[in-house]
Amino acid sequence: MTIPNAEAAVLRLLDANLDRAREGLRVAEDWARFGLDRRDLVVGLKDLRQQLGQCHRDAYRQARHSASDGATGLAHPAQQGRVNPRQVVAANCARAQEALRVLEEFGRQPDPELAAVAERCRYRLYDLETQLLANQDRRQQLAQTRLYLISSPVPNLLAVLEQALGAGVRLVQHRAKGLDDLERYREALALRELCAAHGALFIVNDRVDLALAVEADGVHLGQGDLPVAQARRLLGPDRLIGRSTQGIAQLRQAQLEGCDYLGVGPIYATPTKPGREPVGLAYLEQAVAEAQVPFYAIGGLELSNLGPVLAAGSFGVAVVRAVMEAADPGAASRALLETLHG
């Protein structure tokens, strides 16, 4: 048996693990694309593959010699035990992570740039894997939901929400101002139970602790609220995190942080956010071009002014007064849903 020299062995090793990492990433990417319909995850995984591809030097490919590799085609019985897509994705994420670690260790001396890229990619893949393997039921429901109702402190709050839910609303945010924590908790708990009875997603505004206390489906964060990374650490991978954005830089940042949906606005002036200048349709058009997750135009929206918003291509709309202060919340909800789905 001929023992290869160390330099040639390292070149072959780097070539093999670059291929292995990119192959594993491609398996995960295709599942994100075809199985989950998660454009945001596709973009993230594709970016990792491209970074590694740029580091795949010709010298590594030229060192390749499959005929002399005794491990070529070597399989393991565990591969036959992958009976569902989740197991396939998990195995290929692990494969890519292991290959990236090999690239870090053996690339430090001959190719420090490759080692650094591999390290960054490995840590990023840990985050992407968590999202790939998370329970997707809430996100799949969100992707079908174009009307987002945000509550306000009106008389007979539960009765108003009952009518809206009965008309078909399937996404509700609890926004409570001026209540102490015990009152907020009791109100949020009652609304969460009501939403659950109708099969609707229930989101808590601002408060991660309250969302956890009432077992909400997620939390909506403003620009001045808890960082998304900390909220995700507390909420876990399965619950939803939304973020308010008032400009394209904020939208891009929210997507990088892994938000599940975005608020885009305020489109028009609204008493719900006094003193905040409306962003108009210009930012909405940017969001249509760049959003990779569901997004909801918000701010002064009602049935009479939805036309330009829908014409601009908005995925969905978020409303407050159009339903919460309507003479007939059920009829108002039905009219909005018909317009959005018509």
Whether 337 and 167 have beta carbons less than 8 Å apart is answered as yes
- CA pair distance 110, 21, nearest whole angstrom: 19
Catalytic (active site) residue 192: no
* Three-state SS sequence of 232-278: HHHHCCCCEEEEEECCHHHHHHHHHCCCCEEEECCCCCCCCCCCCCC
Of the listed 151, 244, 314, 333, which one is catalytic? Answer: 244
Instruction: Give the rounded distance of the alpha carbon of 209 from its chain centre.
Output: 20
Give yes or no: 101 in active site: no
User: With contact defined as beta carbons under 8 Å apart, do 149 and 126 qualify?
Assistant: no
Catalytic residue (choose from 33, 101, 120, 175)? 175
What would the two tokens of residue 324 be?
A: 């919460």
E strands of 40-191, at which residues?
A: 147-150, 171-174
Active site residue 177: no
Cα distance between residue 189 and residue 179, in whole Å: 14
Collapsed DSSP state (helix, strand, coil) of residue 284: helix
- Out of 57, 273, 321, 334, pick the active-site residue: 273
Could you give the residue numbers annotated as active site?
175, 244, 273
